[in-house]
Amino acid sequence: MSDSHHTAVAAILDRYAALCGAHENLQENINQLQARQRTLLAEINDCLVAGRLFGVDLARPSASRGGAGGQSIKALVLQAAKDAYPQPVQAAEVRRLLAHQDYTIHEKTVGMTLYRWLLAGRIRREGRDWYFVPQSGREIPDNQRPEPERQRVLEMA
């Protein structure tokens, strides 16, 4: 075999050993983090029990609902777009707004909520910009459109 072949094989074996070592270290870190997570969960449960002893229900959703009067995330996202109208909103800024109001949500919640409003015809999208669509600018949803035969009759009338 040639020297270049041996050099390539040696490089592959070295890289493989380095990757296996890094994976082993990472797995150890994961095990340590999981142990810490179990400890934290036990301490959280202790706090829940202590809170119940003093008449405080820490598990109530209001602890993570923020200070917006208990409105749903769906309603708050639409309201943010409505407040910005005719200017657009972006998911990142709505996420920051909700975080500022002490809402704890998944990073994709706002984007998915905007998308659902898009499907409902209440929002339109241009790239990363989401625009509120006022009532006068909304199309009739497909499930509320007249049937084709009825549509022709309506057009003839």
Q: Scanning the structure block, which residue is given the tokens 């400890």?
A: 39
Q: What is the CA radius of gyration of the chain?
A: 28
For residue 90, the 8-state DSSP code is -
The per-residue pLDDT for range 74-101, each reduced to its tens digit, is 989 999 999 999 999 999 999 999 888 8
What is the fold, at CATH topology level, of the domain defined by 65-137?
Arc Repressor Mutant, subunit A (1.10.10)
Q: Is the pLDDT of residue 21 over 70?
A: yes
Q: Scanning the structure block, which residue is given the tokens 């990363």?
A: 128
How many Å apart are CA 63 and CA 40, to the nearest integer? 18
pTM above 0.75, yes or no: no
Q: Scanning the structure block, which residue is given the tokens 């015809």?
A: 121
Q: Where do runs of H (alpha helix) occur along the chain?
A: 3-53, 73-84, 91-100, 109-119, 148-156
Q: CA of 42: how far to CAs of 4, 35, 36, in Å?
A: 57, 11, 10
The per-residue pLDDT for range 26-75, each reduced to its tens digit, is 999 999 999 999 999 889 888 888 888 887 767 654 434 454 456 788 98
Structural tokens at position 9: 């094989």
